[in-house]
Structure 1
Amino acid sequence: MLTILELLTKTTDYFSKTGIESPRLNAELLLCDVLRCRRLDLYLKFEEVPDTQQIDKFRDYVKRRAKSEPLQYITGYCDFYGIRIEVNPTVLIPRPETELLVERVLQDHSTPIRILDLCTGAGIIPIALAKNLEGCKITAVDISDKALETARKNSIKNEVEDAIDFVKADIKIIPLPIESNFDVITANPPYISISDYENLETGILNFEPKKALTDNADGLTFYKHILNIAEIYLRSNGKIYMEFGTKQSDRLMNLLTEFGYQNIEIINDYGKNPRIITGEKK
């Protein structure tokens, strides 16, 4: 039987040969999930030998990861803005860049507000906002029943279910079955163009839901629908916050200008690429 250190060493080498990025980190995170421990604890247990059931589960994890299945789908969760989120192949895996959108909303608002989140997916944006903005009321919209089921579970696990109303609706069809006069609209819609989608890495193409990634067009389709929704459901002087692709900043600036927004601002991500756009409705 192999010790924890031997398992990590062999798995790291295997992941390196199969082209998995950050092979040691992946091995450690998968083994931590199997052993139900923190990475720090793992280092204190190097000479321990996992039992047969744990080793079998770890081997299954390793086989799945070697086939490019995302680590988050294997463990069933990820961390986002200090909260734990359940993820599965019906929802997009949260990216760190989306935390910048949450951070900016919290920076701009400290009093209770009404928020409309569109294309909510696993519910990461409304849940993170509800956890950090006391007294806010949020309506979260998605077209997918399965995504909404995951989002509701996540709201319950994070004890914010009373602050969020989850609604099934197609944002391409107005009116929506919701109230109006929101203070804020947030959205992280499918923004990858179909031409860029075809060049994504294997783990994304084979496992993450296509409809959560691309609009099957130029990547801008959903922004036009969102701005049309804001015309009706966002109050005057209300603010909109949207995540977008790195090549879309100029076109989105023009689009918000066409819709009459003021104080338009682009926020860069951690790699200094334009990623979030915000503007104020006149």
Structure 2
Amino acid sequence: MVDKNILKNIKLVVLDLDGTLLNDRGEIGSESLKLIARLKQEGVKFTIASGRLHSSIMDYAKQMNLDIPLISLDGSLIKSNSTGKIFFESFIPQKKAIKALNYANRYLSLVAFCHENAIYYTEHNENIFSIIEKYGAAFVQVEDYIPYSKKCLEIVLASDSRENLSEINERLNFPYTFGLYTNLFKSHSSPGVYCLEIRKAGSSKAKALFRLIRKIGVKISETAVIGDWYNDKSLFETKALKVAPANAVAEIRYAAQIKTMRTNNEDAVAEFLQMLISVRNGS
């Protein structure tokens, strides 16, 4: 049972989108929208921390009238939805982007280059947009990756061979290529397929959160994070209040201090937000 004083002191709620705030149809629950508006009137701030591109989370931010910067591409970009001001961006060095591309070709893996507003792929890699889980993103086919190796925030590789991606992962880490963060995981939507995400070191949802709270003057102990998937793990390793919906993976549920009874399809976020309102009303 979480101490009521912890709930009373929450000043910032950080929302994952897919599998958390959104149902499987990509909608925010009507109850959550009402509770977010009410809590904002009481001074609670809200933001999004998503693996999506910034361009594909903007409409949700507008729906909730969010006025503080948003975290996208798992922490590679922090950008204001209202002003367009960029507070943090972390590009993969071009030489390392090209090296990752060469490894993808050598080990017969699909590859895509993620920028702020679009994901680029070549004809040979056209199947990747049905595999990688960047919902709402604009996928653009190009003839050559090289021009898009500049200002690349994230590279995603996909393969049905975990061994091939593991080999690439090892080669992209010290002592081969220092300064990258990599994440190898099983695809959520494509059975038997594995993905390898590559970002510049220092880019994660948690590190982005710490950058954000310094900017807005909120303590980590005054922050609640809500997530369901492996890319939320870094948030769940902080001292924020950790909340997991019923559909969260076991690792996230285990780390959560609050486990909702509802799933994302049952508006799990609203269940937690109602707790915040209840303690503020003294019930």
Q: Where on the TM-score scale, by shorter chain, does this alignment land: which range?
A: under 0.3
Q: TM-score, normalised by structure 2?
A: 0.26
More helix, by proportion: 1
Structure number with greater CO (CA < 8 Å, separation at least 6) is: 2
Larger-gyration structure (1/2) = 1
TM-score (norm 1): 0.26
